[in-house]
Amino acid sequence: MPAPTTPVLLHNGLLIDGTGAGPVRDGSLLIEDGRVRWAGPSADCPVPAEGTRRIDVRGGTILPGFIDCHVHMAAPGTALSHAEIATMPRSLLTFLAAPRMRQTLEAGVTTARDLGGADAGHRRAVESGLLVGPRLLVAVAMLSPTGGHGDFRAGNDDRANDNTMGRLADGTSECRRAVRGVLRQGADCVKIAATGGVWSPTDQPDDDGFLEDEIRTITKIAAGHRGKKVAAHAQGRGGILNAVRGGVASVEHGYEIDDEAIDLMLERGTFLVPTLTTAHTDPDPKKAAPWAYAKKKHWQEVARRHIPHAIERGVRVAMGTDCGIAEHGTNLRELGYLVDCGMTPMGALRAGTAEAAELLGIAHETGTLEPGKRADVVIARGNPLDDIHALGDPGNILVVMKDGVVYKDADGLAA
């Protein structure tokens, strides 16, 4: 997608720049060559170059494009059958992902990290303009021990396994091979299973996945490949501790997080990505297998008990939804759930922008509306500091820009 050459001035909006600074009434944002040139009160705005396009946002809120740190574009976002996904031709999985990617962008997400199922081709298709979607970072597939969260075989199936979502490895030497394998395939980050999970048939969310030595091996190899970071699927407390001690950058889900883990995470700056969107999604008793239904109901409760305490204690939180397991295009509901768990609305906005950019290692490029950064911009109806839940309705996301290009213009503001 070529960067637009015409400069754009957004004006007459409530500006929230993502840095944590207070909102600016009658704010403006000046965009040149797909990047932010200036953001602040309209009265102080530099005189725009001749030919600048002016967009009156009519009192809407100007926000940085949001960043979802945990999606699965290959998964349907409905009660899913891993068996069905596992038997689908890969090309069909990819075609099915295309409308989901557009839907995610139109929900206000300009960058997303896919933690299993999407490969480097998805990222490149967006980069080249072949597909419309958020800028993607991909993990390719989740590394998992045998019988862990990336092992979707039935208990009576002992055939070798290599599925779309998971790669199995046991012991540090197989972990070395597995992590090098996904890096070779163009992974931007590495996803590991530090505990079992809800949708894997032969484990429980409080079963340990990889042990600390396996995790440390993986994080070390990833770090040695241009500082790539490791995200750990970790739900039970034992696996959360193994993951943090093993050096991961983020604990995904973290439903049973306790003070011991919180202390360690605060000390090391480990992020929590609580994926409350999937935690709040009720399983369909008619479609989910009985074992999965029971696990889901139990772990929803565990999350409701533990996540608010982690937020209260100030663990760094980045927004991630697990859309793909939860319904696609509902990503910004996560912000409302974070506030329901005790976060301030500004804190939630930062979890979905600047903090998420920090976790993904792209804070120099996006996450705030500061001069020099990519012009990833959302214009929303209303003031999210008054009603953060409104952002969760894609109907309130009026304009979405990525690199200064308008991809959604619901009310014709940018027409």
The residue ranges that bind Zn ion (CB under 5 A) are 322
Q: Which residues contact 292 (CB under 8 A, 6 or more apart)?
A: 198, 199, 201, 283
Residue 133 DSSP code: S
Whole-angstrom distance between the N-terminal and C-terminal Cα of the chain? 19
- Min CB(345)–Zn ion separation in Å: 26
Output the smallest distance, CB 116 to Zn ion, in A: 6
DSSP string, 46-65: PPPPTTPEEEE-TTPEEEEP
**Closer residue to Zn ion in complex, CB, 114/376:** 114
Query: Residue 37 or 295: which CB sits closer to Zn ion?
Result: 295
In whole angstroms, the minimum distance from the beta carbon of 72 to Zn ion comes to: 6
SS3 state at 28: strand
> Which is closer to Zn ion, CB of 322 or CB of 327?
322
Q: How far is the CB of 322 from Zn ion (least distance, A)?
A: 4
| Residue 158 in tokens | 């002992």
Closer Cβ to Zn ion, 17 or 322, answer by number: 322
- What radius of gyration do the chain's Cα atoms show? 21
- Comparing CB distances to Zn ion, the nearer of 143 and 414 is 143
Q: Kindly state the smallest distance separating residue 288's Cβ from Zn ion, in Å.
A: 16
Burial status of residue 114 (CB atoms within 10 A of its CB: 0-12, 13-18, 19 or more): buried
Burial 161-192 (b: 16+ CB within 10 A, else e): bebbbbbbbbeeebbbebbeebbeeebbbbbb
| 322 vs 403, beta carbon nearer Zn ion | 322
Nearer to Zn ion, 300 or 396 (CB): 300
Choice between 11 and 123, CB closer to Zn ion:
123
Tokens 């754009």 correspond to: 8
Q: How many CB atoms lie within 10 A of CB 4?
A: 18
Shortest-Cβ-distance residue relative to Zn ion: 322
Name the pairing type of β-strands 250-253 and 230-234: parallel
Single-letter amino acid, residue 375: A
Q: How far is the CB of 70 from Zn ion (least distance, A)?
A: 6
Least separation in angstroms between residue 90's CB and Zn ion is: 19
Structure tokens at 206: 């409080």
**CA atoms in the 13 A half-sphere facing the CB of 373:** 26
Alpha-carbon 127 to chain mean position: 18
Q: How far is the CB of 124 from Zn ion (least distance, A)?
A: 22
Give ∠ CA 96-98-101 in degrees, rounded to 5: 120
